[in-house]
């Protein structure tokens, strides 16, 4: 098994790093808030002093942080990854960030003799824990094969979607589908509630047919029970939607449904609900209708 560096130990990254350890890899980790690395270090990882330290000791480095500025900071900032990049280094960015910025970042790493894969992920916290994430990758096929043993430890659907930057654009497509589906699930369950239907029976009746989806099966039961623990928070979903709408604007593509969901999530953020799971979107519709799912609160 090989050596791998991992930077960013949030909800997703922490589980991904632990899966790499469980697969037998020698993992070196760094996180801006050092205490968040404790759990992974206890599981067998080595703690690095900086992103540069991670890159110096590992030819391949995975990154999973929140936003474009965070990637720029850990890669190009003081004691950043670039201070340890050498010929043959491979940076794999699992963050969801700007497709345009990704191309710039990749170009800078290429100029240093390294390679870049933009490899955003989907599958929620559950997928990160189980190692069943979907990974959409932009970059060279040869670099994906170099990283295959590490990618296989964290994901089960690994798809090469095009050149550098394409992975991030496919993730934007993914997020359009996620939030559109979440809006549909919210409207459907609210309709069922208003009609006096048994919500669990209704869910069981429809999820195996044409209306079935990951969001319905995984988030529908949480919504019915009013369990708002996040697989992915509203705040992070909003960050992704901002990136989606920026990319759509650059390409001249109208996304009215996505823009609507963005505004509904903004209303929930204004109620200090940004740390709740993105399935709490239904609360915005509850506010409009005066109808509330379930009787668990």
Q: Cα–Cα distances in Å, from 78 out to 59, 74, 196, 247, 263?
A: 19, 8, 59, 29, 36
Cβ atoms of residues 93 and 180 within 8 Å = no
pLDDT for the residue numbered 1:
73
Whether residue 171 lies in the annotated active site: yes
β-strands 121-122, 26-30: how paired?
unpaired
- CA torsion sign for 63, 22, 151, 149 is positive
Tell me the backbone φ, ψ of residue 192, rounded to 5 degrees: -60, -40
Q: Give this prediction's pTM.
A: 0.93
| Measured distance CA(179)–CA(171) in Å, rounded | 12
β-strands 46-47, 26-30: how paired?
parallel
To the nearest 10 degrees (0 to 180), the angle between helices 282-289 and 256-269 is 80
From 18, 103, 130, 171, active-site residue: 171
pLDDT for the residue numbered 295:
61
β partners of residue 116 = 91
Q: Where are the domains of the chain?
A: 3-163, 170-289
| Measured distance CA(155)–CA(129) in Å, rounded | 10
| Measured distance CA(95)–CA(13) in Å, rounded | 9
CATH architecture of the domain with residue range 3-163: 3-Layer(aba) Sandwich (3.40)
Closest CA to 30 of 60, 12, 9: 9
pLDDT for the residue numbered 2:
86
Written as six digits, the tokens of 290 are 């005066």
Tell me the backbone φ, ψ of residue 133, rounded to 5 degrees: -65, 155
Stretches in the chain below the pLDDT threshold 70:
295-297
CATH architecture of the domain with residue range 170-289: Orthogonal Bundle (1.10)
Q: How many CA atoms lie within 13 A of 251 on its CB side?
A: 14
């Amino acid at each position: 098994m090989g050596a791998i560096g991992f930077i960013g130990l949030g909800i997703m990254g922490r589980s991904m790093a632990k899966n790499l350890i469980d697969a037998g890899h020698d993992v070196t980790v760094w996180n801006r808030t050092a205490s968040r690395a404790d759990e992974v270090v206890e599981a067998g990882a080595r703690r690095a002093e900086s992103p540069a330290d991670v890159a110096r000791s590992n030819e391949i480095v995975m990154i999973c942080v929140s936003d474009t500025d965070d990637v720029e900071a850990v890669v190009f900032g003081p004691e950043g990854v670039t201070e340890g990049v050498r010929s043959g280094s491979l940076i794999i960015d699992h963050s969801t960030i700007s497709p345009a910025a990704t191309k710039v970042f990749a170009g800078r790493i290429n100029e240093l003799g390294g390679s870049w894969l933009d490899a955003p992920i989907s599958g929620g916290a559950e997928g990160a824990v189980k190692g069943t994430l979907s990974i959409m990758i932009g970059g060279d096929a040869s670099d994906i094969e170099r990283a295959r043993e590490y990618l296989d430890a964290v994901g089960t659907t690994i798809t090469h979607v095009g050149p550098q930057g394409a992975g991030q654009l496919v993730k934007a497509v993914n997020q359009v589908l996620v939030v559109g589906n979440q809006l549909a699930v919210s409207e459907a369950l609210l309709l069922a509630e208003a009609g006096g239907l048994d919500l669990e029976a209704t869910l069981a009746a429809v999820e195996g047919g044409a209306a079935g989806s990951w969001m319905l099966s995984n988030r529908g039961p949480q919504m019915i029970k009013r369990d708002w623990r996040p697989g992915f928070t509203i705040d992070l979903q909003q960050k992704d939607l901002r990136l989606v709408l920026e990319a759509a604007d650059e390409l001249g593509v109208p996304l009215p449904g996505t823009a609507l969901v963005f505004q509904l999530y903004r209303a929930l953020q204004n109620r200090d609900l940004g740390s709740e799971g993105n399935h709490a979107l239904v609360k915005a519709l509850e506010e409009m209708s005066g109808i509330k799912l379930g009787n668990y609160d």
